[in-house]
Amino acid sequence: MLSDGLGVKSMDKITYIGLGKMGGAMAERLCQAGHKLTVYNRTHAKAQSFAKLGAMVAGSIESAVEGADVVFTSVIDDQALEEVTALLLPHLKKGVIHVSTSTVLPKTAEKLAKLHKEAGVIYVAAPVLGVPDVVKKGEAMSFCAGEQGAVDKVSPLMRCYAESVMNLGEQITDPVVLKICMNYSVIAALELISELFAFAEKSGLDTAIVQESLHHIYAHPGVRHYIDKIYTRDFDKVNFDVTGGDKDVHLFQKAFTDVGVTPDIAHAIGDKFTQAIATGLVGKDWSVISEVVRARSGLK
Ligand SMILES: NC(=O)c1ccc[n+]([C@@H]2O[C@H](COP(=O)([O-])OP(=O)(O)OC[C@H]3O[C@@H](n4cnc5c(N)ncnc54)[C@H](OP(=O)(O)O)[C@@H]3O)[C@@H](O)[C@H]2O)c1
């Protein structure tokens, strides 16, 4: 349990909205750290298991945020975040901190920070780098920005799921810009790794050698994890699903073109996601774009 001296006090009421793969993992970590959480998920069935972790399961956003001091959200995209915000904002007491962990556009973060300020509450942009299993071990990375008093207050909470909390200051768009940079780099690596395996296989090189060599070039455990996933073609254990990946590619395209940069790699990868969705790969991990690369290469 956190101390009463700094950060969030044990009696503070914390609400978590959005219990998908990432939100569920973060909420679980907060419960395990001893925080009394109130949780809400649009599809109510996903929230029920949190009662066993000691959380209060709310039936509506309105009741979930009633009396809350801190509200976390993790929803899929910009539209969902705007919808959820419109529902929760009128019910927050003054000074509440909304910690938004979704990956969204910089201009969405800007718009929401303004709306929160007008309502007398505080928006902290805090997207998360890491996959659900990494979050469950408390080893994710959180990029955050916002009013510094609020960031200081919620940082101990973010440390329940993130071993590193990078406070980027007051500029609300900075964490989402950084998150887009990191995710674009990962998705480009997925595409490249997929192409390299297909090329090696068609050229008759043992792909186990490619796997081992790629481990040396891409030393980060997260990227190694995807090298192995693509090598073993294990796409059923889902970190982030195909529709999420497709959402991210559109997000990169929009974010880049908004500032006059052409995301050529995202355009090429977007086409792979379109094919993955059209060929029934929805529900698989986003690295399944590798199967599209294989199919286009004439590999089974
Ligand atoms: N998975 C990853 O590896 C990963 C890593 C880093 C960041 N992220 C980011 O984390 C966020 C969540 O991703 P995820 O993988 O956890 O996705 P997910 O498993 O698909 O969960 C999405 C969540 O959003 C909720 N939601 C969607 N539309 C909504 C709406 N209109 N109103 C209310 N709730 C809505 C869903 O509710 P229902 O259950 O009712 O559908 C669910 O709780 C995304 O912004 C993603 O980019 C994901």
In which domain, by residue range, is 113 found? Answer: 14-171
Q: From residue 246, how far is each of 68, 115, 166, 243, 278 by CA, in Å? A: 34, 28, 27, 5, 12
**Can you give the pLDDT at residue 3?**
37
Asked, for residue 7, whether it belongs to a domain, the answer is no
Q: Is 80 found in the same domain as 19?
A: yes
CA of 77 to the centre of ligand 1 (A): 7
* Per-residue model confidence (pLDDT) at position 83: 98
Q: Of the residues 136, 155, 171, which one is the last residue of a structural domain? A: 171
Segment 86-135, tens digit of pLDDT: 999 999 999 999 999 999 999 999 999 999 999 999 999 999 999 999 99
Query: Best substitution site from 39, 43, 74, 186 to test ligand 1's pocket, by max atoms within 8 Å of Cβ?
Result: 74
Q: Which residue has its alpha carbon closest to ligand 1 atom 31?
A: 80
Q: Return d(Cα 189, Cα 290) in angstroms, integer.
A: 11
Is position 137 within any domain?
yes
pLDDT at site 220:
87
Measured from CB, residues less than 6 Å from any atom of ligand 1 are 18-23, 41-43, 46, 74-76, 80, 83-84, 102-103, 128, 131-132, 239-240, 244
pLDDT tens per residue, range 268-295: 999 999 999 999 999 999 999 999 999 9
Give the span between the Cα atoms of 289 and 286, in whole angstroms: 6
Residue 127 lies in a domain: yes
Clarify whether residues 30 and 124 are in a common domain: yes
* CA 289 to ligand 1 centroid distance, Å: 20
Q: Is the pLDDT of residue 6 over 50?
A: no
* d(C-alpha 127, C-alpha 164), whole Å: 12
| pLDDT > 90? residue 2 | no
Residue 133: the pLDDT is: 94
- What mean pLDDT, rounded, does the chain reach? 95
Calpha distance 84→91 (Å, rounded)? 12
For the stretch 170-188, pLDDT in tens is 999 999 999 999 999 999 9
Span from the CA of 210 to the centroid of ligand 1 (angstroms) = 33
Residues 105 and 204 in one domain: no
Tens of pLDDT, residue by residue over 151-176, are 999 999 999 999 999 999 999 999 99
Query: Of the residues 22, 26, 242, 251, which should be mutated to test ligand 1's pocket, given the most ligand atoms within 8 Å of the CB?
Result: 22
The minimum-distance atom of ligand 1 relative to the CA of 103 is 45
Nearest CA to ligand 1 atom 1: 240
Task: Please report how the helices 174-202 and 289-296 are oriented relative to each other, as an axis angle in degrees rounded to 10.
Answer: 40
Query: Could you identify the atom of ligand 1 that is nearest to the CA of residue 251?
Result: 47
Q: How confident is the model at residue 10 (pLDDT cuts 50, 70, 90)?
A: low
Same domain for 268 and 217, yes or no, is yes
Q: Are 147 and 36 found together in one domain? A: yes
Q: Looking at the structure, do residues 103 and 159 belong to the same domain, yes or no? A: yes
Residues 59-82 have a mean pLDDT of 98
**215 within some domain:** yes
Domain boundary among 127, 155, 171: 171
Q: What is residue 282's DSSP assignment?
A: T
Please state, for a pLDDT cut of 90, what percent of the chain lies above it: 94
Q: Is residue 2 a part of any domain in this protein? A: no
Ligand 1 atom 39 nearest Cα: 43
Residues 140 and 84 in one domain: yes
Chosen domain end from 112, 136, 171: 171
The minimum-distance atom of ligand 1 relative to the CA of 17 is 43
Q: 1 in a domain, yes or no?
A: no
Do residues 196 and 228 share a domain?
yes
Residue 189: CATH number of its domain: 1.10.1040.10
Measured from the CA of 239, which atom of ligand 1 is nearest? 3
* Closest ligand 1 atom to 183 CA: 6
**Pair (145, 212) in one structural domain:** no
Q: Determine which residue's CA is closest to atom 44 belonging to ligand 1.
A: 76
Looking at residue 146, which CATH number applies to its domain? Answer: 3.40.50.720
Q: Are 166 and 19 found together in one domain?
A: yes
Is residue 123 domain-resident? yes
Domain count, the chain: 2
116 and 182 in a common domain: no
Q: How far apart are CA 159 and CA 126, in angstroms?
A: 12
Q: Are residues 244 and 158 in the same domain?
A: no
Question: 6 lies in a domain?
Answer: no
CA distance 62 to 60: 5
- Residue among 99, 93, 49, 112 nearest 71 (CA): 99
